[in-house]
Amino acid sequence: MNLLKDAYLKTRNRTVEICQPLTVEDYIPQPVDFVSPPKWHLAHTTWFFEEMILKKFITDFKPFHPDFSFLFNSYYNTVGTRVFRADRGNITRPGVQEVYAYRTFVDASMVQLLSTLNTLELKELVELGINHEQQHQELLVTDFKYILGHNPIFPVYKENGALINDKNAEFGWHTIQEGVYEVGYAGEDFHFDNEINSHKTYVQECDISLALVTNGEFMEFIEDGGYQQFNFWLDDGWTWLKENEISAPMYWHKINGTWFYFTLEGLIPIERDAILSHCSFYEANAFAAWKGMRLPTEFEWEVAADHLNWGSRWEWTNSAYLPYPKFSIAPGAVGEYNGKFMVNQMVLRGGSVATPQGHTRKTYRNFFQPHYQWQFSGIRLVKDKDA
Amino acid sequence: MNLLKDAYLKTRNRTVEICQPLTVEDYIPQPVDFVSPPKWHLAHTTWFFEEMILKKFITDFKPFHPDFSFLFNSYYNTVGTRVFRADRGNITRPGVQEVYAYRTFVDASMVQLLSTLNTLELKELVELGINHEQQHQELLVTDFKYILGHNPIFPVYKENGALINDKNAEFGWHTIQEGVYEVGYAGEDFHFDNEINSHKTYVQECDISLALVTNGEFMEFIEDGGYQQFNFWLDDGWTWLKENEISAPMYWHKINGTWFYFTLEGLIPIERDAILSHCSFYEANAFAAWKGMRLPTEFEWEVAADHLNWGSRWEWTNSAYLPYPKFSIAPGAVGEYNGKFMVNQMVLRGGSVATPQGHTRKTYRNFFQPHYQWQFSGIRLVKDKDA
Amino acid sequence: MNLLKDAYLKTRNRTVEICQPLTVEDYIPQPVDFVSPPKWHLAHTTWFFEEMILKKFITDFKPFHPDFSFLFNSYYNTVGTRVFRADRGNITRPGVQEVYAYRTFVDASMVQLLSTLNTLELKELVELGINHEQQHQELLVTDFKYILGHNPIFPVYKENGALINDKNAEFGWHTIQEGVYEVGYAGEDFHFDNEINSHKTYVQECDISLALVTNGEFMEFIEDGGYQQFNFWLDDGWTWLKENEISAPMYWHKINGTWFYFTLEGLIPIERDAILSHCSFYEANAFAAWKGMRLPTEFEWEVAADHLNWGSRWEWTNSAYLPYPKFSIAPGAVGEYNGKFMVNQMVLRGGSVATPQGHTRKTYRNFFQPHYQWQFSGIRLVKDKDA
Amino acid sequence: MNLLKDAYLKTRNRTVEICQPLTVEDYIPQPVDFVSPPKWHLAHTTWFFEEMILKKFITDFKPFHPDFSFLFNSYYNTVGTRVFRADRGNITRPGVQEVYAYRTFVDASMVQLLSTLNTLELKELVELGINHEQQHQELLVTDFKYILGHNPIFPVYKENGALINDKNAEFGWHTIQEGVYEVGYAGEDFHFDNEINSHKTYVQECDISLALVTNGEFMEFIEDGGYQQFNFWLDDGWTWLKENEISAPMYWHKINGTWFYFTLEGLIPIERDAILSHCSFYEANAFAAWKGMRLPTEFEWEVAADHLNWGSRWEWTNSAYLPYPKFSIAPGAVGEYNGKFMVNQMVLRGGSVATPQGHTRKTYRNFFQPHYQWQFSGIRLVKDKDA
């Protein structure tokens, strides 16, 4: 159990570390409904431990504050009325300091609990809480990047060592052989309910790229009029592009004829050989069509994963987010975690520069609606064998 | 080639026959953007033959009217500017009679062409045109049902013999064995580009119902508070239900405590043992969750198809509409037919009482966005083997 | 009472005459929520006589059809549930012929009634019904102009003698002297509740133009960049213009560098000296600002009316539509006629080429929201004396 | 000029004083587009002095920060591109402390300038800046009340001495005699362009209430079903009420059958004899209709003002916000202050508990769109003499 306590504390401290360069003001805004205030992430991840673990395992547990259970719930309809998602930006109080006090209080209670109790049920819930917090660590980064990146003065998060764009280490193609493969999580360690049950699937022969698409390649697509030609686009993608006047990935700005992009180190000229980030599924799909190729399915990706570098971008697949065989929703609030989102979303595989170390794995299924650009999302191409 | 001409004329006449009970006024409205005016269906199916075939195969072909190519185009971005879909209800002229004259003109030219030319390319395009018109025959029915069914006085389409609700002939379950199956169209006859290439897929063991869900069964779901309990619903479905105040399938009306529904024979009391129709994917999915079962995938459905009655309802599957292996988009306007819709839609299998005879087949992939209720859509359940 | 019967029949026949060039299809669409289907105007004006008069004055009156009271009500909340305004385009049945039969039935009953009863109450209600129908005659014209004018093939209503644009007969300015004036209706004839009570008002000295603004003058405004300079526009007007991409009055189209406009005789080149029509209040106000002048108030207009030609355009004033002193709302449905619209609308004075003869008068207060362009609305300018 | 400097400093300090109880977090949110973040008010009022005065009167003036001119502009289209109003909540940096430093810098420069220069032009602009800041002092209060009042935990602004609801000191009616009156500002002191020119107007005889409507009286309206009966409401008001599910003034909450309201001292039970606040024009108008009375016109109000207590609520009048005779818009950015809002808004007279002392006067014309509730707005009734 000491290992679990260590893992708990390491994760909790990492969240605080990520926030260290933020000002108090940075913690507050919810600029659009899908971006949550950093303060909310800090509180909500804490709420998860208090609500799902401390209230359950500690007799007569006295919560930090009676209102917090209500204020920092997210989607969990099972646990009482929740604050409308779009109103999170309005909650100025409790303030940042009080939320940190809330973290300290819950951490102390958790450490106490983990020092005294050692059951499988507790272990599993703590692991879920840790993984939940890791997911929010990534959202924290993408969300404050959104906040800073939509400020007309483009503030810098951190001068050096921030999450900057990296480059491909390998090139060429890996061939996937046709046949039946086992996919899905089959181990004993932590995993989400959406990646079991391990099951057989049939995969067709194809070549999958070892490198991800770069900024330079994507620039060629733009310069070739990619955003002006409907035939590269899915119909919904074309509508999205027209209605939102999209003409580049998020954070790209053309200033006096030169492309710049906003990074966590500020606004800088685009590097052509850095890996592309912040594209939507629609853009990924259109780029692939323009190349005469396609995106991988999530199973092609998983089958090839051992041959790929991955972990710098969430890679859009052409698989819709759907349940695996015999998927079932756990009873209670924990069951609301994944299953209810299994429509109208596309699967992303891999992981990104913003994903906490050790959080992802090759069976991990991330998912977003196809128009979202604000994650560190990129493109890996596939060629059919005799297409 | 006489067979083709016969098939052509049979289809064309069937369209006219379907419209026979309509008044001139019924041909005009576009009550919501996804419902097209009946007149538009008549003209657009005709336009397809003129634009895609007559203009191509007849030298110096003189179109019926220079404006029609523009007015009756649908999604085909390749063929010049198209009238915005939402404005179709505004085009009162050309009138109904002129559209029928247009049909007569194109039919005469087509008959002439089919009597003199006999090439594979022509044959394939005519077959595409026939199948295209058959699809619009079904849309015609669902669209004028929508128009009549949203008139507060509930007009009757046809007193007897209209498309009324039918009943299950078989009950019980068919077991699908786990294993590799071949799916997709592999024959020589007409088919759409979205159902080839035939390919292998791996299917898990399960039981699929021989009967479709009835009105009576769905009423139990309603009476059990199915529309009030979020845990049965996908998150998007719950939002849809709340925003649109949905509390029953389309055309259901509770009047003084008794359920009625609008049929093409008018407003009548619901028959409990008739097969449920006009539900959305969200409702189908929630119903299955309430039953502790699930919807079939499109491949489970196809693998079991020979053991099932089907053809009375389009059956929602839990498969997203995605390309089959090696799917490629044909060049030109014909290529806009299917591929660009392959995101955010769910596959429906089978066919409905409104589907023209001979139009559908077991590899046929219909698709709609998950919130649509206006098609003759129903529910078939699946049980996992040891779930 | 014979005079009243004659007036009744003359008005009723005039409505039919206006519709004579329409096709059955033209009667059906409601292209936007503020435009009603011509069939609806025919039925609703008839409904008014049936609901407000026949049901009241004829014992055991048997309505033409029990549903019509519900179908053809407009805003009259007092008289039962009404069909949502935006759904009027969906009511294909009763058809056009049945609506004409409804007119014939009600006319026969009205003639019968007017031949046998002669009370002041009846007389006042019939006059209200006649004036109500005259208002709808004008809306009929503006509404089918909208329907035809938004059809990409620009159908012709009537080849000759349609309502075409006319020219100014007088030029120069009329000086209004400062002082107390009596305004509002003070006579014994028919009038609306919004134009009494006659009362004193104080008017400042100014000059009012004898001519209305022409197409040519407005073209100068356009060519001078009037639609690109925010400083001429009210803030709401600028937002409206940006959101709706407005760059000219309604029905104006620039084709290959030449201005055309849609008239009831079809699409023709703009005549520079014809009187401008189909501008919004926002455009009228911006044009006046560009000229360094302003629009008249409704009282300036009324005080000067005897010196002006008017009746070719509804003239936007800079007066908001507000109640006159001691305005009170009549009890019952008749009271819903005017009072409840007295916010967020601007007064128009005069009358237009589409206004039935004898319908308007100098105390007549027309009113619309400031963004509407679809009426035959124009601009008269005012100069302050020492501005 | 020392008086002016004193007035300047007094106003500037008052703004800081108002903000004293706020936390850093409270300064940030823009919960809805019409509510600005407190930090923005602090910066924008400062920007006004820098942009309109310091840049103009000080040679080689070096602004505090080159970006601020862009960031803290409001509606002034004349002064370069402005940040979209709805994005103000996203600007976390510059932070609160830097904005206070900005204030200090500008104040020092202003004091310096006012100590050395003494011209009429300077004086007029400083007075405009002071009055501008006073207007924002009131908006500050209404905006942070909105922020705190929409936090589910209802934070307290200040325990004692906050702006609480006050009571009527006088009752009964004052009779206004019919006749010509002079209205509008005619003095030499500071005034806005919208309240000159002083001019004659004709007012009808009526009685105006000495007391404002209380919470208790408004509760009777609610309990009598006032929000359920369309006939009391303007059509736009009824639509507003239905679409926004309005059933009480802003900040009123019915909890277990008892009415509470949020005040700057927190959530407390409603006091029946306190003066009603936070109603929209629509609610004010409906309440008056329910009473069988009406709202005053702005001129009735002004003519009676010497006989009234006023200054606790902004009182909705039934006058639309329109230009006075010979109103003209000043050239440049200062001219954008008032004129461009003169459509679709209603005039409020008086002043409120949140209005800075000495800011308002009897000719002062406040204005808002008729649906806004977030100001300290109330109701004064008028009875027509023989109505």
Closest to A319 in 3D by CA, of A172, A197, A198, A203: A203
In a domain, D76, yes or no: yes
Q: Where residue C9 sits, what CATH number does that domain have?
A: 1.20.120
* Residues D372 and D226 occupy one common structural domain: yes
In a domain, A163, yes or no: no
Please count the other Cβ atoms lying within 10 Å of the Cβ belonging to residue A234: 21
Q: Compute φ and ψ for D335, nearest 5 degrees.
A: -70, -15
* Residues D114 and D199 occupy one common structural domain: no
DSSP letters, A310-338, are: -SSSEEEEEEE--PPTT--PPSSGGGGSS
CA distance C106 to chain D (A): 29
Q: Among the listed ranges A21-35, A105-119, A323-337, which one has the minimum average pLDDT value?
A: A323-337
Residue B1: the pLDDT is 53
Instruction: Report whether D291 contacts D283 (CB < 8 A).
Output: no
Residue C71: the pLDDT is 87
In a domain, C261, yes or no: yes
Please identify, among D99, D134, D149, the residue that sits at the C-terminal boundary of a domain: D149
Average pLDDT over residues D45-62: 96
Please count the other Cβ atoms lying within 10 Å of the Cβ belonging to residue A267: 16
* Residues D184 and D326 occupy one common structural domain: yes
Q: What was the ipTM of the complex prediction? A: 0.95
In a domain, D192, yes or no: yes
Decide: C and B in contact? Rule: 3+ Cβ pairs under 8 Å. Answer: yes
* Residues B217 and B142 occupy one common structural domain: no
Query: Which chains touch D (3+ CB pairs under 8 A)?
Result: A, C
Structure tokens at C232: 């001429």
Structure tokens at B129: 């045109």
Q: Which residue has the tokens 């009494």?
A: C196
Residue B301: the pLDDT is 98
Contacts of residue A72, defined as CB under 8 A and 6 or more positions apart, other chains included, come to A40, A43, A44, A46, A47
Confidence class for position B129, pLDDT limits 50, 70, 90: very high
Average pLDDT over residues A247-261: 95
In a domain, D49, yes or no: yes
Q: Return the residue of B nearest to C84 by Cα.
A: B152
Reported as a single tens digit per residue, the pLDDT across B294-350 is 999 999 999 999 999 999 999 999 999 999 999 987 776 666 677 899 999 999 999
Q: How many domains does chain B have?
A: 2
Residue D5 has pLDDT above 80, yes or no: yes
The Cα–Cα gap between D37 and D42 comes to 9
Instruction: Report whether B31 contacts B150 (CB < 8 A).
Output: yes
Residue C218: the pLDDT is 98
Structure tokens at D212: 């404002």
Contacts of residue A337, defined as CB under 8 A and 6 or more positions apart, other chains included, come to A192, A193, A330
Residue D197: the pLDDT is 86
Please identify, among A92, A117, A149, the residue that sits at the C-terminal boundary of a domain: A149
Chosen for mutation from C90, C91, C96, C267 (greatest number of chain B CBs closer than 10 Å) is C90
Instruction: From residue A279, give the alpha-carbon distance in Å to each of A228, A250, A252, B378, D310.
Output: 16, 7, 10, 37, 58
Structure tokens at C298: 């409704």
Q: Where residue B257 sits, what CATH number does that domain have?
A: 3.90.1580.10
The residues on C that touch B, with CB distances below 8 Å, are 23-29, 31, 39, 67, 70-71, 83, 87, 89-96, 147-148, 150-153, 155
Query: Which chains touch C (3+ CB pairs under 8 A)?
Result: B, D
CB-CB neighbors (< 8 A) of D93 in chain A: 23, 25-26, 148, 151, 153, 155
Partner residue opposite C202 with nearest CB, options D75, D77, D200: D200
Burial of residue D266 (number of CB atoms within 10 Å: 0-12, 13-18, 19+): middle
Instruction: Report whether B369 contacts B345 (CB < 8 A).
Output: yes
Determine which helix (DSSP H) or strand (DSSP E) holds C286, and give its type and residue range: helix C281-291
Q: Do C199 and D204 touch (CB under 8 A)?
A: yes
Q: Which residue has the tokens 């409020």?
A: D348
Percent of chain D with pLDDT over 90: 85
Q: Do A341 and B235 touch (CB under 8 A)?
A: yes
Decide: D and B in contact? Rule: 3+ Cβ pairs under 8 Å. Answer: no
Amino acid at A336: E
In a domain, B158, yes or no: no
DSSP letters, B339-356, are: GGG-SS-EEEEE--TTSP
pLDDT in tens, chain C (387 residues): 589 999 999 999 999 999 999 999 999 999 999 999 999 999 999 999 999 999 999 999 999 998 898 888 876 665 555 566 668 888 999 999 999 999 999 999 999 999 999 999 999 999 999 999 999 999 999 999 999 999 989 999 998 866 666 899 999 999 999 999 999 999 999 999 999 989 999 999 999 999 999 999 999 999 999 999 999 999 999 999 999 999 999 999 999 999 999 999 999 999 999 999 999 999 999 999 999 999 999 999 999 999 999 999 999 999 999 999 999 877 766 666 778 999 999 999 999 999 999 999 999 999 999 999 999 999 999 999 865
Q: Do B95 and C23 touch (CB under 8 A)?
A: yes
* Residues D184 and D238 occupy one common structural domain: yes
* Residues C14 and C109 occupy one common structural domain: yes
In a domain, D341, yes or no: yes
CB-CB neighbors (< 8 A) of D298 in chain C: none
* Residues C365 and C220 occupy one common structural domain: yes
Partner residue opposite B320 with nearest CB, options A75, A234, A320: A320
Structure tokens at C38: 């011509």
- Top mean pLDDT of B333-347, B368-382, C68-82, D326-340 is at B368-382
SS3 content of chain A, % helix, strand, coil (to 5): 40, 15, 45
Q: Do B75 and A180 touch (CB under 8 A)?
A: no
Q: Which residues are registered as beta bridge partners of B5? A: none
Q: Where are the alpha helices (DSSP H) in B150-280?
A: 215-223, 235-243
* Residues B125 and B197 occupy one common structural domain: no
* Residues A200 and A71 occupy one common structural domain: no
* Residues B276 and B130 occupy one common structural domain: no
* Residues C118 and C181 occupy one common structural domain: no
DSSP code, position B271: P
Chosen for mutation from B19, B28, B81 (greatest number of chain C CBs closer than 10 Å) is B28
Number of helical H runs and strand E runs in chain A: 10, 12
Q: Do D343 and C370 touch (CB under 8 A)?
A: yes
Count of pairs with CB atoms under 8 A, one residue in A, one in B: 87
The residues on B that touch A, with CB distances below 8 Å, are 75, 77-78, 180, 199-202, 204, 230-231, 233-238, 281-282, 285, 294, 318-320, 322-323, 325-326, 328-329, 335-336, 340-344, 346, 370, 384, 386-387
CB-CB neighbors (< 8 A) of B238 in chain A: 340
Partner residue opposite A342 with nearest CB, options B78, B231, B234: B234
Structure tokens at A320: 């819709």
For residues B74 and C304, the model is more confident at: C304
In a domain, D282, yes or no: yes
CA distance A35 to chain D (A): 11
* Residues D288 and D195 occupy one common structural domain: yes
Chosen for mutation from C183, C324, C326, C386 (greatest number of chain D CBs closer than 10 Å) is C326
> In terms of residue numbers, what domain contains C53?
2-149
Number of helical H runs and strand E runs in chain C: 10, 12
Average pLDDT over residues B68-78: 75
CB-CB neighbors (< 8 A) of C199 in chain D: 202, 204
CB-CB neighbors (< 8 A) of B329 in chain A: 231, 289
Confidence class for position A360, pLDDT limits 50, 70, 90: very high
Residue A219 has pLDDT above 90, yes or no: yes
The Cα–Cα gap between A233 and A284 comes to 10
CB-CB neighbors (< 8 A) of A154 in chain D: none
The Cα–Cα gap between B108 and C10 comes to 49
Mean of pLDDT over chain A? 93
The residues on A that touch B, with CB distances below 8 Å, are 75, 77-78, 180, 199-202, 204, 230-231, 233-238, 281-282, 285, 289, 294, 318-320, 322-323, 325-326, 328-329, 335-336, 340-344, 346, 370, 384, 386-387
Q: Do A204 and B341 touch (CB under 8 A)?
A: no
The Cα–Cα gap between C24 and B131 comes to 31
